[in-house]
Structure 1
Amino acid sequence: MAQRPIVRILREPDARARIKGQKARFPKGISSADQARRHNSKFERIESSIGRVLAGADLKNSPAEVAPDRALVFEVIGPLSTVTKFIQAARETGFDWLGEDFDLTQHEDEDDEGNIAAADDGEGVDADQSVLYVTMPSINGLQKIVALWKRFTRREPKPSGPDGEWWDLFKYLSDVRPWSAKDRVDPALDRYVERMVRQQPDKPIRLELDLWYRSDPKLRANAQTYVEALLKVIDGKLLDFATIEPIHYQAALVEIPIAQAEMLSSVAGPIAEADGVMRVRPQSFYETTTMDGDVTLSSDEIAGAVARHKPAVAALLDGYPVENHVHLSGRLDVQEVDVAAASVPVARRRHGTSMASLIVHGDLGLPGGAIDRPLKVVPILAAPQNMTVECTPPGVLPIKMVYRAVTALMEGIDGKSAQGEGVVIINHSICDREAPYARKPTYWAKLLDYLSHEYRLLFVVSAGNCYEPFAVDTYADVAAFQNADPIERQVAILRCVENAKGKRVILSPAESMNSLTVGAVHDDQAGACPPGLAEPYDKVSGVPNLSSSVGLGINRAIKPDLVEAGGRQLVRVNLKNGAMSAWAFEHQDVGQLTAIPDPAGLRDDRTGRSTGTSNAAALVTRAAIRMAGVAEDLFEEINQSWVDSQTRAVVLKALVAHGCHWGQTGELLHGLYPGHWQKKREAVSRAIGYGRADYDRIVTAEGNRITLLADDLIGRDESHQYKLPIPRAMIANREIRRITMTLAWSSPIDPITNRYRGVMVELVDAKGKRKFWDGLEGITDANGSKIPTGPVATATRRGTLQHLALQGKKLIRAAGTGEIIVGVQARVDLAAFADEKVPYALAVTLEMAQPVRQDLNADVAARVRLKRIEVPARPRTRVRT
C-alpha cells in the first residue's frame, strides 16, 4: 500500500502562553479648558434642543438639532482604547450603540523583534486620525451627557465607573453633531440614479434603505411602518423588507419617483432627512453576462449519472440549472426556496447550469472526471420576462434570499426540515455589482461571516468581475496597440491595470473574512485567439484575467485568498479625445467549456464557453469537494465523523489553500510593480492573494515531501504547540528546503465595530514569536534579490487564513533537538468573545527541492507515530496517520 501523503500530528498537551505586548503611546489629550473653548457651543445647542423637545417642539424638520431618535456622531482623535471602553459607557448612559468607523490598519501589531503587541489597550490609531461613533440617545441620555460635559469643563475629578470613560472621550473629542443627510446618502447614488434614468427614463428608481438597527425589539417591529409612512409622503412603494438580527441588519427595498431620486442625488428631500434611515444606497443587484455561440460534444465524451453512494457535501447558490442536461442528469439535487422552476424558462438557465457543470466536471475541454457526489442547488437567480439575462429577483433583497437559502439547508424553513444535511461547502458566485468594497464590510459579507461560523460552513466566493474601461497610456493609437509585440503589450496592460486598481476592487460579498474568495486566472483549454482580435496575456504567465477584481479586504486582509483558472478574455481598445482606454470582453471561441441550455429548448447536450471569477470559484468548489474525501478518510481511520466535527470547514479551508504558491506569476508581477518590496508584495497579493493552488501536491505522495495536518479548538491566550521531526535528509546538505504552513480558522464577528473579527489566531515559534527555522532564510535570484514567495507576513494575520512559504538552502550541520516547533496562538480581539473557543486547522508540508535517497514521507511519518506514544493526548485531540 502506498504511503499516505498526509499525516495527522499531535500538539503538545496543556501548552499555553500568555500573549505579551507593549502599550502604544498616545498624547494625553486636550485640556478641559481648550476643549471647552472648542465645543461648548455644540453642547449648548444640545441643551437647547432638549429644552425644545421637552416643551413639545417637533424637531424632525430641523436637521441641525439634536433630538431623541436622531443619531448623534462623536468624532474622536486619539487611542483606540478610549473607543473600546466608551462603547459600554455609552450604553449605560442611555445611548443605543449603532456603529463606528475607523481604520485599524494604521497600527501594525508587531515590533522589530517579532513580538506580538497587546490586543487591548496596546492597539490604537494615529493621533491625527479621526474616529467616528454613532449613537441614538434618549432624552435622559442627552441630559446626562450635557451634565457630564459641564463637570468635565469645570475640571472636576474624573468619576469612577462608566461615567469616567466620558472623561477620556472628552479629552480627544474633535466634533459632536447629528447624523446628517450628507452621512445618509451613499456617494455612489448620484451616478446610479443618472444611469437608471438614462436606461429607463419612464420607470421609478429602486433603492435600498438601511435602517438603524435598534436594540429595542419594539422599535425594530415599528420600522416597517415607519418606512411605509415615509414612502406615502413621496408616492413611493415598498417592495421588500428584511430583518436579520445576528448581523444587526434591517433594510427596505423601495421604489421612488425619478424626481425624488434626483433630489436624493443632490442630498436633499424627505428620505435624505429621514432620521430613521441610516443609509440610502443603490439597489443590490447581480446580473449575468452571456456569449453567443455554442458547441456540442460527441456522445462518447458525455459522462453517466453519479453513483449516489457518497452524500452531498456541497451546495450551489446560483441560477436554476438545466437538471436533465446530459452532463448533469442524475447529479443535482435542486431545493426550491424563493425561486421556482416555473419562473425561470429552461432556455435562460445559463449561469446556474454552467456553474454546476464546472463543479461536477471541471472544464469540459480538460477531462478530469466527474465528482462522485450529488450537488445540492438552491436557485437564487431569476429570469424576468423583461430582461435578457439572469439576475437576482428585482423585487427582492438578495441578502434576504441568501439568508433564507442557507437557513433552509441548515435548519429548515417554512415548515420544512433541513435540506442540506452534511453540506459543508457552499459555492457563492453571486455578487453585488453596485457595491465595490470600500473599507467597511457590507451586510452581505457580514451575513456570510456569521453563517460560516455559526454553521461551520466554508463559503467559496467569487471576487467579482470588472468590465469598466481603464486608461492605456503606452500606445499612440489603436493600430499601434493591435500590432505591438505581444510580450511588450502584456507588460503594458499589466502596468495599466495596476494603475487603475482603485476602480477595479472586489465586489460585495467578496470581502467576507471567513470565506475563501477566488480571483480568476487567464487560462483555459480553448484554441488560439481568433484572427483580428487581441489577447492581452499569454497562457503560461498565470496572471489574472482582464476582468478579475483586486483586493484588499476587511482591515486590509488578503483578498482574494487565491486564484484559479477563469478562462481567457480578450481586450478591446478605443481612442477618444486623444486618450486610449481598454476593457475586457468575452468571445465565443475562448473560455472554459461547460454545459449550457439550448436557446430553442429542444436539445439537452449543448455546451458553450464562459469566463470570469464565477468560473474560478466553481473550480475551487470542485477542489474542496475533492479535499472533503481526504478529510473523511483521515477522520474515519479513528472512527470519527469529519462532517460532524466542529473543525470541518476550517480543515477544508486549510487543505484547499495549502497548495497555493506565487511561483513565476509572483516573480513576474513583483518585478513589474513599482515601489519598495513591501508595496510590491501588497500589489501582488491584491491581484493573486496567496496564488494558485496545486491540489495534487496535497493528495499525492512523493518521496521528497510530507504534509502534516492538525485541527482543534483554541481559546483566549492559549498556545498549542506541535513538534515536527526534521527529516534527516534535510540535514548536512545544500539542497533547497521548503516548509509551507497554512493556518485556517473561523472567527465570530461583531457587526457594529470596525474591529469586526472577534478572535485572532496565528502561527508562532517555540518562544511565541514569529521567527522560524534559520535554515529557511530565503532564496535569491541571479541578481542577488530575494525571490518573493508570498505576501508580507504582517498582512497574512489580518484575516482568518495565514499561509507562509519559507525556503532556503543554508547548510545545517546539526538539527538541535531534531524537531521544529510550530505554535498556534490565539488572542481575543473583542472582549465580547473572551470565552469563545474557535476551530482551527494547521497544515504543514516539509519538502526538498529534489528527490532524496531517504523517503521524507516514511521518515517523518514513523517518527510522528512514535510521538503518539510519548505524548498523552488531551480529550479534544485526535491523531490520524
Structure 2
Amino acid sequence: MTTSSAKPPVERPILLGAVSSSRSFRVYGGGKAKVAFNNSSSRIDRLDTKLEETFRDFKRDVELATSIQAADPQLVLVFEALDENIDLSRIATRLGFEILSESEGSMDPTEEFTLISKAPKDPQISTCLHAICLNEKTLAELLKLWRTWKRQRPLPFGYAKLAELFSHLKDIRPWGPEDRMKTIDWQEYFAGRLPDQTHTLEIELWYRESQILRRKAQSEVEQLIGEAGGELLSSATIPAVGYHGVKCRVPETLVKQLALEEFSQVQVVKSANVMYLRLSGQSIPLSSPGTESADSSDLLPTGNPVVCLLDGVPVSNHKLLSGRLVIHDPDDLSADSRSTVEDRKHGTWMASAVIWGDRSLQNEALDRPILIRPILTPSPETQDRTEEIGANELTPDLMERVFRELFDGVDGQDPIAPDVAIVNLSVGDPTTPFDSHLSSWARSLDWLSFKYGVLVVISAGNYASLKVAPHDSDSIQQLVGEERRAAIQSSIHMDQANRRLLSPAEAINALTVGALHEDASGSKPIGYRFDPSDGLANVSPITALGGGHRRSVKPEVAAPGGKIHYSAPVVTTDTLRAANATSTGPGIKVASSIAGTESYTVGTSPAAALVTRSAAQLYDMVDAITGNRVLSRHERAVAIKALLAHGARHPDTIVSDSLDLQKALGFGRIERDYSLGCSSNEAVMLYFGELGAAEEQDLLLPLPDGLNVRETKRITATLAWLSPVNWKNRQYRQA
C-alpha cells in the first residue's frame, strides 16, 4: 500500500523472466483409503431406515399426485459420501436419473469416521454431496440395488461404482426446506426492513439439461408463487454456470412463515424444482457523520480507465471526485426519483477509497480516471434506504450483462472499457454465506473473469455483531491489552461457523480481501464505546472468515478496514455490536455523499477498495516490466494478481493462540508496493506461461549483480492464475 504522497526512487526494477517450452509429465493416480468407517453395521442400518422412509414418503406423494391428476412428482436425493472420487455419470445413464450438482467439502473426524494414518498430512476428511433428480421408478430401482448391496451380494454388471458409493456413504436424505433456505440472521434482516411491506425473493431452480424440463419447472414455481399472493419480476438462465433463477415479490406473511420455519405453510419451499431461496440484501459498512472536506491541488487524471467499480451511484460532483470518474449507467439508476443525492453513500465511499486511499494519509490521487458502472440503488423496503441490487435484477444475469457491455459491446455499440483489467466489487450478500457449494454469483464471476481476462477484487463480507460467551460485555471491557485481544480472537474462533465468507467472495478466480483492525485516523474511543483490541494490532472483528472452495486460502490478502469500536451496552449481554464512527473516526476517511464533506467508513468494503487502488498502480508498471511484449488482458490481470499476493505478509504485530489467522488474513497484509520496484538486496522476477493438464515448464533465473555471491539465498514464489471452470464437475476448477 502507498502510505505517503511522495514515491521513493526505484532501487531495482522488477525483471521479466524467461520460460521454457511446456513438456508433459506422468500423472500417478489412485492412492490408499484415508478414512476408517467404524461400526459399519449401525451406519448401514441408519442409512437403510432413511432410504426406506424416503421411498415410502415419495410413493405417498406420487399417489396423491395421481389422484388429483397432477404432474408426476420428482425427488431430489442427496448422497453425502466420504473419502471418494466416484464418477456417477454412467450410473446415471443406466438408472435414468439426472446429476444436478456435486460439491466437495470437508469435516473433522468423528468416532464413527476416523483417519487411518496416525500422522496425516491433512487432518480433515474430504466429503462430497451428490444431488440427483429421479422419479418413482428410478428410486424403486435404486432401493432394489441398495437392498442387494446391503445383503453383501454383488450388484449387476456396470454398477461397481454405485457399490463403491454405498460403501462410502455418510448420509442419504431428500433435499428439503432446510437445504433450500440459505442461512440468514432473521432478527438482523427484519430489523432493517419497513413493516407491512412486500419482500423481494430470489428462487434458484435446479438447472436441468432439458429446456423442456426447465420451462416446466419454472411454470410450476410461478404457479406456487402466484397462489401465495406473490408475483414474478424476472427470470434468467445461464447455461455456462448452470444457473436458472427467478426473482419475485412476495407478501410479508410468507417471509415470516419462512423465518418461523413453518415450511408446511409455504409450498414453494417444498418444491423439488427449487434449489435455494434467497432474500435480497446487501452488507453495508458502518460509517460516520460528515466533516468538511479539504481541497485538493492534485492534477486531474488522464488516459483511459483501467479499473471498473461495480457499486452504487456516486456523488460525481463532489470536489474529491469531480473530473476523476467516468460513469456508465445504462440502467439509469442515477435518475431514480425515489433517491436523493445523500442516499448515494456506498458508491461515493468506494470511489473515493480507490482514487485517494485513506484520506487521513494524504495520498496522491490515481493518475487515471476510474469507471463506475452502478449496480446498487437505495431500497424502498429498508428503513435507512440501504443500497441493494435492484428488485428486478438477478445477480448472475446482471454480471453477464455488465461484462458484455465492458468488453464486447451490446446492441451494436463498441465495448465501453476495453482497457479495464480490474473490476472492484466491494459488496456482498449477507443472505448467502459460503457453505461448500459455490453461489451462482461466484460461479458467474469465475466464468466471466476467465472469459474476459479480468481480475475481480471482492470484499470478504462483514459481521457487525460478535458473541463473546463465555465472556460478556462487562468482563471483556475489564480485560486490558493482550488479554482483551486474545479474548476477542477466541470469540471470533468460537463463532467462525456463523462468520463465513459472503457471496460472491468465494469465487476462485477473484482476489478476496479481508480487513485489518487498522486505520490512520488516530481516533480514540469516547463515550459508551471501547476498542476490542485495546490499542493493539488485530484482525478486524467484523471481517468474514475463510477458507474457500475445497479449503483453498480465502481471503487471499488483507488491508486496513478501519478500527472498530464496540458499543458498551448499559445492560450486560453476551453479544457485542460495532458502533458507527464519530466525526473524527475511527475508519478509512473517504468522500461523503453530503456535498463538500468527508466521513469515515469501516469493514472489508473499503479494504477491498484499497487493494483495488494498489492493483491500479501496478497496471502501467507491468508494461514497464515487459517492454515491447504486447500483453493480453489475461496476462496483465494475472500479473497484477501475482504481484499483489507476492507482496503480502502476516504482520508480526498480530499473533493468536486460538484464531487461525490465515482464515482472516489469507497470505497477509499487502506490505510491499511493487509499483515502486524492489530493494537493492533482492530481485523480483515476473514470468508468464500457459500450462495444460499434466504439463510443466522451467523458469530461468539469472542472478543479477549483487546477488551472485556465495551466501544463503531465499526464493519465494507466488503462482497466480485465472482458471476456466466446469460447474458440472465436483472439482469445478479446470486449471
CA distance in 1, matches of 2:636, 2:591: 31
Tell me if 1:738 matches 2:729. Answer: no
SS at match of 2:288: coil
CA distance in 2, matches of 1:111, 1:621: 45
CA distance in 1, matches of 2:50, 2:513: 52
SS at match of 2:502: coil
CA distance in 1, matches of 2:123, 2:474: 50
CA offsets, 1:221-258, max 9 Å, x none? 34443222112222222233232222212222333334
CA offsets, 1:496-532, max 9 Å, x none? 4444333333222112211111112233332342644
Give percent identity, aligned residues only: 28
Residue in 1 that maps onto 2:4: none
* Contact 1:435 1:508 (8 Å CA) reproduced: yes
Relative to 1, partners in 2 of residues 1:56 and 1:582: Cα closer, same or farther, differing over 3 Å?
closer
Residue in 2 that maps onto 1:337: 330
CA offsets, 1:351-384, max 9 Å, x none? 2122112212222222332222221110011124
Relative to 1, partners in 2 of residues 1:204 and 1:157: Cα closer, same or farther, differing over 3 Å?
same
Relative to 1, partners in 2 of residues 1:59 and 1:450: Cα closer, same or farther, differing over 3 Å?
farther
* Contact 1:546 1:569 (8 Å CA) reproduced: yes
CA offsets, 1:84-110, max 9 Å, x none? x21342145422211135525779xx9
1:22 Cα shift? 5.5
SS at match of 2:423: strand
Relative to 1, partners in 2 of residues 1:622 and 1:256: Cα closer, same or farther, differing over 3 Å?
same
1:704 Cα shift? 0.5
1:717 Cα shift? 0.9
User: How do residues 553-568 of structure 1 correspond to structure 2 at under 5 angstroms?
Assistant: 553-568=548-563
Q: Which structure 2 residue ranges, 5 or more long, are not aligned?
A: 1-8, 110-114
Alignment partner for residue 520 of structure 1, among 509, 515, 519? 515
Tell me if 1:312 matches 2:305. Answer: yes
Alignment partner for residue 596 of structure 1, among 592, 598, 603? 592
- The size of the alignment, in residue pairs, is 711
Residue in 1 that maps onto 2:434: 437
Alignment partner for residue 179 of structure 1, among 175, 180, 185? 175
SS at match of 1:255: strand
Letter paired with 1:561: E
Residue in 2 that maps onto 1:707: 684
CA distance in 2, matches of 1:662, 1:693: 9
Which has the higher mean CA deviation after the structures are superposed, 193-202 or 527-536?
A: 193-202
Alignment partner for residue 66 of structure 2, among 57, 76, 83? 57
Letter paired with 2:132: T
**Structure index of larger Rg:** 1
SS at match of 2:66: coil
* Contact 1:294 1:608 (8 Å CA) reproduced: yes
Letter paired with 1:621: T
TM-score scaled by structure 1?
Answer: 0.72
Letter paired with 2:652: Q
Residue in 2 that maps onto 1:252: 246
Relative to 1, partners in 2 of residues 1:151 and 1:722: Cα closer, same or farther, differing over 3 Å?
same
Tell me if 1:755 matches 2:735. Answer: no
1:459 Cα shift? 0.6
CA distance in 1, matches of 2:165, 2:492: 43
CA offsets, 1:374-412, max 9 Å, x none? 211100111246753441145234513333222321223
CA distance in 2, matches of 1:154, 1:469: 51
User: How do residues 342-741 of structure 1 correspond to structure 2 at under 5 angstroms?
Assistant: 342-343=335-336, 344-384=339-379, 387-393=383-389, 395-397=391-393, 399=395, 400-414=397-411, 416-471=413-468, 477=474, 481=477, 485-486=480-481, 488-529=483-524, 531-532=526-527, 533-537=529-533, 542-574=537-569, 576=571, 579=574, 581=576, 583-590=578-585, 591-598=587-594, 603=595, 605-635=596-626, 637-638=627-628, 640-642=629-631, 644-665=632-653, 668-669=654-655, 672-674=656-658, 683-697=660-674, 699-725=676-702, 737-741=713-717
Letter paired with 1:231: I
SS at match of 2:234: strand
Q: Which structure 1 residue ranges, 5 or more long, are not aligned?
A: 62-66, 118-122, 675-679, 760-881
User: How do residues 16-31 of structure 1 correspond to structure 2 at under 5 angstroms?
Assistant: 16-20=24-28, 23-25=31-33
* Contact 1:242 1:252 (8 Å CA) reproduced: yes
SS at match of 2:255: helix
1:634 Cα shift? 2.6
SS at match of 2:568: strand
* Contact 1:209 1:277 (8 Å CA) reproduced: yes
* Contact 1:521 1:544 (8 Å CA) reproduced: yes
Relative to 1, partners in 2 of residues 1:224 and 1:6: Cα closer, same or farther, differing over 3 Å?
same
1:660 Cα shift? 0.7
CA distance in 2, matches of 1:464, 1:4: 37
Tell me if 1:12 matches 2:20. Answer: yes
* Contact 2:457 2:512 (8 Å CA) reproduced: yes
* Contact 2:360 2:588 (8 Å CA) reproduced: yes
Relative to 1, partners in 2 of residues 1:70 and 1:571: Cα closer, same or farther, differing over 3 Å?
same
RMSD of aligned alpha carbons: 4.0
Tell me if 1:95 matches 2:94. Answer: no
CA distance in 1, matches of 2:573, 2:287: 31
CA distance in 1, matches of 2:610, 2:35: 51
Relative to 1, partners in 2 of residues 1:560 and 1:650: Cα closer, same or farther, differing over 3 Å?
same
CA distance in 1, matches of 2:234, 2:50: 42
Letter paired with 1:402: M
Relative to 1, partners in 2 of residues 1:20 and 1:467: Cα closer, same or farther, differing over 3 Å?
same
Relative to 1, partners in 2 of residues 1:351 and 1:513: Cα closer, same or farther, differing over 3 Å?
same
Tell me if 1:266 matches 2:252. Answer: no
Relative to 1, partners in 2 of residues 1:233 and 1:48: Cα closer, same or farther, differing over 3 Å?
closer
CA distance in 1, matches of 2:299, 2:233: 44
* Contact 1:288 1:391 (8 Å CA) reproduced: no
CA distance in 2, matches of 1:203, 1:157: 59
CA distance in 2, matches of 1:743, 1:102: 23
Relative to 1, partners in 2 of residues 1:376 and 1:435: Cα closer, same or farther, differing over 3 Å?
same
1:329 Cα shift? 2.2
CA distance in 2, matches of 1:693, 1:56: 59
SS at match of 2:444: helix
* Contact 2:26 2:694 (8 Å CA) reproduced: yes
Letter paired with 1:692: R
* Contact 1:15 1:719 (8 Å CA) reproduced: yes
Q: Choose between structure 1 and 2 for higher RCO, CA contacts under 8 A separated by at least 6 residues.
A: 2
* Contact 2:473 2:576 (8 Å CA) reproduced: no
CA distance in 1, matches of 2:369, 2:231: 42
1:182 Cα shift? 4.2
Relative to 1, partners in 2 of residues 1:538 and 1:655: Cα closer, same or farther, differing over 3 Å?
farther
CA distance in 1, matches of 2:107, 2:473: 40
SS at match of 2:268: coil
Relative to 1, partners in 2 of residues 1:157 and 1:469: Cα closer, same or farther, differing over 3 Å?
closer
* Contact 2:543 2:603 (8 Å CA) reproduced: yes
* Contact 2:76 2:272 (8 Å CA) reproduced: no
